[in-house]
């Protein structure tokens, strides 16, 4: 079986000096793994001529595919383009298609091309031009003696788009790769060890060519099934059959697969049930609304939000009773109940949800430590509230509370199906 090897080469002093975190190479590893290309080495060198040329040569000796990120800006400290031209022995010239795309890119934003930016459309004549749909530095594809070098920008969203839309499909066409089939099952609302316990009979019965991994993150656990074999379609069918079996143990936790996001799953459920959503968020400060509105087409079910961060706005904007606030405080079951019900009515939605809590580091009291958060959902007939005791970290608390609300919406909609059937 062919075993195609890749090396990831990152260019940039800022990574060597520890000034930025390299998140690109982990993402690239995962994506390559999915199509059966194995990363055998990762290398990072600085913006130094000799180091870069040496790294090109070494990588070519070890790997079939060399994916380079970084060092592509328009300024003089960016060396990747001239050095690749030198390495492959060809000159750099203006590339007409790249210039057209670049001019268009600037025109769409109402800018003229400056001479410095115009140089970004110059490319080594021995490479194929790779479009950058989200930025100004083009990608470059070099093929030589059965080896492929691809140079991409280091800006994560530009690189990811280029990899997904162009580089990976072309690598799949160019190289004969092993068959690996992955599927990730996304669960929410259960901890890793509890989930492991509930599904242990299923896990123990998995065939030896299908492997399971637990990948926990904030409030969620992803289960990754990896199947190895000769035929992708057969592997897919086997994995799908195993997932059907898994549902007998863990149906209520599963909200999606692979890159599905919880906000997308909840959005699809709201759409299906023809329900609209309104949000009142205090301690989550906009993050819950952001998760909901990141989903394209969310305007089909999302009405809007009120973020009454200050005490007085809970009264003036949401109609929470002053006496409720005075008696029980903003972080209480009584206040969160009014918030969820009132935002539902005020924004004219079917479902209202709310958050109120102590994100930290300030604001804690003796009986309400940092991480105390109340969440609620109201649908006009019934109100469900829940108290969360989260962590000591502000950002983590904001994110965990927002995800807990999305799961509360999911569970409420699941129950309404059960009741109606």
Contact set for a copy of itself, span 249-308 (CB under 8 A): 279, 281, 285-294, 296-299, 302-308
210 binding a copy of itself? (CB under 8 A): no
Q: Site mask, a copy of itself, residues 90-129, x = CB under 8 A?
A: ------------------xxx---x-xx------------
Which one, 89 or 110, has the nearer CB to a copy of itself?
110
329 binding a copy of itself? (CB under 8 A): no
**Contacts for 52 with CB less than 8 Å, ≥ 6 apart:** 11, 45, 71, 79, 80, 83
Site for a copy of itself in 41-100 (CB under 8 A): 41-48, 51, 55, 58, 73-75, 77
Query: Look-up: residue for tokens 């492959």?
Result: 88
Q: What are the tokens at 415?
A: 């129950």
Q: Diameter of the chain by CA atoms? A: 79
Site for a copy of itself in 176-195 (CB under 8 A): 182, 184, 192-194
Site for a copy of itself in 3-22 (CB under 8 A): 10, 13-22
Are the C-beta atoms of 33 and 4 separated by less than 8 Å? no
392 binding a copy of itself? (CB under 8 A): yes
Which one, 55 or 150, has the nearer CB to a copy of itself?
55
- CA nearest 49: which of 20, 94, 87? 87
**Contacts for 207 with CB less than 8 Å, ≥ 6 apart:** 238
CB of 417 to a copy of itself, least distance (A): 26
CB of 125 to a copy of itself, least distance (A): 24
Give the C-alpha distances (Å, rounded to integers) separating 398 from 282, 361, 366, 384, 401. Answer: 10, 12, 21, 20, 6
Contact pick of 93, 169, 176, 213 for a copy of itself (by CB under 8 A): 213
d(CA 262, CA 259): 10
- CA nearest 321: which of 342, 344, 346? 342
Contact pick of 347, 354, 375, 413 for a copy of itself (by CB under 8 A): 347
Site for a copy of itself in 348-367 (CB under 8 A): 348, 359-363
Q: Is the peptide bond before 361 cis (omega within 30 degrees of 0)?
A: yes
């Amino acid at each position: 079986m062919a075993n195609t090897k890749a090396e990831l080469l990152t260019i940039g002093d800022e990574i060597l000096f520890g000034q930025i975190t390299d998140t690109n190479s982990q993402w690239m590893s995962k994506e390559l793994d999915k199509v059966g290309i194995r990363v055998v080495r990762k290398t990072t060198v600085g913006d130094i001529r000799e180091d870069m040329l040496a790294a090109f040569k070494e990588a070519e000796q070890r790997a079939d595919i060399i994916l380079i990120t970084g060092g592509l800006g328009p300024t003089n400290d960016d060396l990747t383009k001239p050095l690749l031209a030198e390495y492959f022995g060809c000159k750099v010239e203006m590339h007409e298609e790249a210039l057209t795309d670049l001019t268009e890119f600037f025109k769409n934003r109402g800018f003229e091309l400056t001479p410095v930016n115009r140089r970004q459309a110059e490319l080594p004549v021995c490479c194929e031009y790779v479009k950058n749909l989200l930025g100004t530095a083009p990608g470059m594809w070099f093929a030589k003696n059965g080896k492929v070098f691809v140079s991409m920008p280091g800006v994560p969203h530009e690189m990811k788009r280029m990899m997904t839309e162009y580089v990976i499909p072309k690598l799949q066409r160019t190289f004969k790769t092993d068959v690996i089939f992955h599927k990730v099952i996304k669960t929410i609302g259960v901890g890793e060890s509890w989930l492991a316990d509930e599904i242990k009979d299923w896990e123990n019965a998995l065939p030896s060519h299908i492997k399971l991994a637990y990948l926990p993150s904030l409030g969620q656990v992803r289960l990754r099934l990896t199947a190895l074999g000769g035929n992708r379609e057969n592997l897919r069918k086997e994995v799908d059959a195993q997932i059907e079996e898994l549902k007998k143990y863990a149906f209520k936790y599963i909200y999606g697969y692979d890159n599905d996001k919880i906000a997308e799953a909840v959005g699809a459920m709201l759409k299906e049930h023809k329900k609209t959503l309104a949000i009142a968020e205090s301690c989550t400060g906009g993050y819950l609304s952001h998760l909901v509105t990141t989903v394209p087409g969310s305007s089909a079910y999302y009405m809007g939000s009120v973020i009454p961060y200050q005490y007085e706005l809970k009264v003036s904007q949401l109609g929470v009773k002053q006496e409720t606030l005075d008696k029980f405080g903003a972080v209480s079951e009584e206040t969160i109940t009014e918030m969820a019900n009132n935002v539902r009515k005020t924004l004219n939605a079917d479902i209202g949800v709310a958050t109120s809590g102590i994100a930290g580091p300030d604001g804690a009291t003796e009986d309400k430590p940092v991480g105390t958060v109340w969440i609620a959902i109201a649908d006009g007939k019934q109100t469900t509230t829940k108290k969360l005791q989260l962590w000591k970290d502000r950002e983590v608390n904001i994110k965990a509370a927002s995800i807990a609300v999305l799961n509360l919406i999911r569970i409420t909609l699941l129950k309404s199906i059960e009741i109606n059937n």
